[in-house]
């Protein structure tokens, strides 16, 4: 059921609950998951298949962004586009990409070993999916990784880390030797260094989504990141999911960050 956006949200929600069985089921499942304590394993259904998650709150937020708002939706000239998913987490994004392009070839990267096991199970029956248990970085090797237990694990130093471990790193640049239809980077603060290292090969990428993370205790490097995109002839659209209504008076901070920006980059000719 599609209702005009001019109708207030609460009224649209009421009508959908009354007359749309799919929406009603979705809302009931949302309420069930919402009651599960944070950082506790849970299960639900995505696109008719069993799906595991590691944290209720982050899962619901990701599901809304990815499946409801479709922030990763893109057009491809090919029925089998190549998609690189940096920061695949438990696999919601991979599931979505397979929904819109069933024949796509997807290479996913996830450094948190516990989350990677869940990612593998969530993607085990999907064809054309290659998974790597490593962090994207500007060189191959090993680095300390701060595991938060959900979607905020990072290579950056943070006092929110529940566990500090060493993880293998892999150079994204090495995967840009052929045309890439969509590159997604949600790598919690490493995006600037990784994109800078890939600068000369970003011409291989048609569409790029990067989540920029501005940490309170680090100098901002947004201008450098945007400069890298502009040098690669990208145009971009920016929005934020961490909004401070009165930033001169009070700035919201989440997971040590005072800004998180969703940057959707695309070609000038497209």
Neighbours of 217 (CB within 10 A): 11
pLDDT tens-digit map of 101-124: 999 999 999 999 999 999 999 999
Structure tokens at 151: 């979607």
Per-residue pLDDT at 161: 54
CA atoms of 226 and 206, how far apart (whole Å): 16
Q: Computed from CA positions of residues 211, 217, 220, 225, in that sequence, does the dihedral angle turn out positive or negative?
A: negative
Give the CATH number of domain 74-267; options: 3.40.50.150, 2.40.30.170, 3.40.50.10190, 3.40.50.1110.
Answer: 3.40.50.150
Q: Out of 13-17, 52-56, 76-80, 145-149, which region has the weakest mean confidence (pLDDT)?
A: 13-17
Report pLDDT for 234: 97
How far apart (Å, rounded) are the C-alpha atoms in residues 123 and 144? 26
Helix (H, G, I), strand (E, B), or coil: what is residue 41? coil
Calculate Rg over the CA atoms of the chain: 19
CB atoms within 10 A of CB 76: 16
Specify the pLDDT at position 220. 84
Give 88's Cβ-side CA count (13 Å radius): 34
> pLDDT tens, 51-84?
999 999 999 999 999 999 999 999 999 999 999 9
**Range in 27-41, 150-164, 183-197 the model is least confident about:** 150-164
CB atoms within 10 A of CB 126: 17
Q: Enter the pTM of the model.
A: 0.87
């Amino acid at each position: 059921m599609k209702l005009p956006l001019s109708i207030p949200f609460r009224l649209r929600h009421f009508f959908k609950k009354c007359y749309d069985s799919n929406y009603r089921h979705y809302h009931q499942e949302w309420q069930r998951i919402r009651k599960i304590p944070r950082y506790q394993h849970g299960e639900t259904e995505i696109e008719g298949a069993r799906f595991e998650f590691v944290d209720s709150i982050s899962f619901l937020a990701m599901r809304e962004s990815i499946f409801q708002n479709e922030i990763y939706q893109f057009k491809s000239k090919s029925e089998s586009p190549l998609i690189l998913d940096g920061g695949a987490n438990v696999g919601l994004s991979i599931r979505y990409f397979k929904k819109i392009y069933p024949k796509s070839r997807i290479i996913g990267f996830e450094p948190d070993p516990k989350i990677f096991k869940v990612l593998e199970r969530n993607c085990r029956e999907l064809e054309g999916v290659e998974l790597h248990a490593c962090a994207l970085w500007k060189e191959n090797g090993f680095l300390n990784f701060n595991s938060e237990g959900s979607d905020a694990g990072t290579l950056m130093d943070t006092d929110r880390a529940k566990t500090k471990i060493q993880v293998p790193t892999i150079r994204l640049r090495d995967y840009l030797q052929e045309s890439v239809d969509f590159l997604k980077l949600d790598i919690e603060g490493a995006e600037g260094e990784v994109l800078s290292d890939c600068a000369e090969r970003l011409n291989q990428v048609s569409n790029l989504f990067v989540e920029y993370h501005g940490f309170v205790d680090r100098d901002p490097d947004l201008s450098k990141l945007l400069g890298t995109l502009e040098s690669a002839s990208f145009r971009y659209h920016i929005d934020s999911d961490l909004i401070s209504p009165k930033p001169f008076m009070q700035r919201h901070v989440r997971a040590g960050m005072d800004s998180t920006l969703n940057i959707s980059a695309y070609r000038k000719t497209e």
